[in-house]
């Protein structure tokens, strides 16, 4: 997939959410989009984080995202028996999709869906949203944590 196709997919996902939200409401729209997305998140993220640290696993994905025009930095924030990675994005997929779809209101729904799918796909990993450009921050920042075994 190239950057244009990726951007089109993000726009289509946002447009599908908006269509469903108008038809059945926000909660039902999110659930409808999450149902098929959770297994995809498990298949994509699971191999990255199983058998290694969160930061090293997520770092392996940054090159693929860079090729799609999404700049991500991963910081290893592990300490005291906690495996932790902080994901910092200077590219906001939500704002880009809103602009492409002609939506004036910044909606953080795409990253909210991504994060909820990650929570469900990897229940051992806590996902915390600390900053979102779609909510006025300068960066998007997500923190992933889990207890280390032993």
Q: In the chain, how many domains are there?
A: 1
pLDDT band at 20 (very low <50, low <70, confident <90, very high): very high
Q: Report the C-alpha dihedral over residues 60, 142, 13, 104, rounded to 10 degrees.
A: -130
Domain harbouring 80, CATH code:
3.30.1380.20
* Full domain range(s) for residue 24: 3-147
| Whole-number pLDDT of residue 148 | 82
Mean pLDDT of 132-147: 96
pLDDT for residue 136: 94
3-class DSSP state of 11: helix
Number of other residues whose CB lies within 10 A of the CB of residue 136:
8
pLDDT on residue 150: 44
- pLDDT level of residue 149 (50, 70, 90 thresholds): low
Query: Hey, is 48 helix, strand or coil?
Result: helix
Q: How far apart are CA 100 and CA 94, in angstroms?
A: 10
Residue-wise pLDDT tens digits, 23-52: 999 999 999 999 999 999 999 999 998 888
Residue 127: helix, strand or coil by DSSP?
strand
Residue 105 has pLDDT above 60, yes or no: yes
């Amino acid at each position: 997939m190239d950057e244009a196709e990726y951007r089109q997919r993000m726009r289509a996902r946002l447009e599908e959410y908006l269509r469903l939200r108008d038809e059945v409401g926000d909660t039902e729209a999110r659930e409808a989009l999450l149902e098929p997305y959770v297994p995809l998140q498990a298949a994509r993220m699971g191999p990255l984080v199983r058998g290694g640290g969160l930061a090293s696993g997520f770092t392996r994905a940054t090159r693929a995202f860079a090729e799609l025009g999404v700049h991500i930095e991963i910081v290893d924030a592990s300490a005291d028996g906690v495996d932790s990675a902080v994901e910092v994005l200077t590219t906001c997929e939500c704002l880009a999709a809103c602009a492409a779809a002609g939506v004036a209101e910044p909606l953080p729904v795409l990253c909210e869906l991504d994060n909820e799918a990650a929570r469900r796909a990897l229940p051992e990993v806590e996902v915390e949203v600390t900053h979102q450009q779609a909510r006025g921050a300068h960066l998007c920042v997500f923190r992933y944590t889990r207890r280390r075994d032993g």
